[in-house]
Structure 1
Amino acid sequence: MRVLLAEDDPLLGDGLKTALQAEGYTVDWFKDGRHSLHAALGEAFDLVILDLGLPGLDGLEVLRALRDRKKDVPVLILTARDALDDRVKGLDLGADDYLTKPFDLDELAARLRSLIRRSHGRGVTLLEYEAIALDPATRSVKQGGREVELTLKEFKVLRYLLENLGKAVSRRRLEETVYGWDTEIGSNALEVHIHNLRKKLGQKLIKTVRGFGYRVG
């Protein structure tokens, strides 16, 4: 899952990025409102974590612009503003959830998982297909009840394909989901992950969509 983190506090931003990456997310971190909005409008993200007190452009204005342009990406507001009118304003502008600082990282992770489930129209945690069950909360995969060991990047690829079950996902979208913007990607890195997933879970699981990308189901 690819997350846009809009947070100007360097210590908090760095800590959040590290914690979210440990949870299996790919994080693109921006420190001001204008760059955050530009990225959110121009790229595909699965979640946005949005601080309200951003320099350049206030977080509420970023949110307003996203919704005005019909971007329906789930947005969690993360801010030190705990007054009732700030919470109401953010939710009325289209935020999906609201968490005030200071906060617990486990609660943030749980809220993000909830937003992902809701955005995909699911009320349950597990992602299942045939004998495969992927649990985002524990970052575990089982096939026929047997635990399957995956690397973090393999897990990210499989999770995104299962979240888009039956749909063809472009190669570029998968690369962005796994690596984000600030990582050098080898020309065949994605193919290596696909190859390893097929080896571990069966050759027929992931289908190649020639000239475009991959799909499951």
Structure 2
Amino acid sequence: MENKTSKYFKYAIGEIILVVIGILIALQLNNWNEQRKASQAEKNLLIGLQNEFKLNLEKIDGSVELNQTNIDACFRITEMIRDNTLEKQTVKLDSLLGRLGVISSFDARRAVTDEIINSGKLDILKNDALRVLITRWPAELEEAREDIGFTVMNYNNNLMPFLIDNFPLANAEITKKWENDNIKMYSNPSSFSTNFSELNTMKFESVIWHHKHNIDFILGNDYDLKETIKTIINAIENALADKN
């Protein structure tokens, strides 16, 4: 009887050990599965962010180009004022005046970024530096947007009234080039002309330069945003590399 009791006791202990081992294995498998799901979720977010910010890099380059063209127009008009060649190059002047209104506002794609921030998915991203960059991104965009608003207000309240009073702005229509053929263009020159002998060239130069000064801020923001975008893309690529 003692031998049988001893055998049953050992058997029971063995059963308990097997059950415990089974539970531990199940917990380990479940933990591994959850980690795998979390890793895949993070990878999906990283790929989404990577695509979004690569597109933003292309868009910011376009904004830089347009705003730089605006600044170049300010330089060329200023040179024409100081060289006293405005009246000799009216067609060129019309074209340059038309460029002044092309103020590019960088419209960032942020669907993935907003989803991460607003739905509480930031914790899924394990890269600390990337989390900080993503968190700060909306604020950087808002700061840049404020400068654009100020520049547009200055254009409408200061530069445009001066141009309306002194130049036949319809002539700038002739110099426009659109890739979209559906946009109808007016091709007849205006019957009005600028009285260059009465034009206040000092004021003309000043309003142009004030406009140029404001575009400088926008272009500077564009370059700053471009560097941030490149930094974020680099952090994303590092995070993806860690997962491979």
Give the TM bin, normalised by the shorter chain.
Answer: under 0.3
TM (norm. structure 2) is: 0.21
Q: TM-score, normalised by structure 1?
A: 0.23
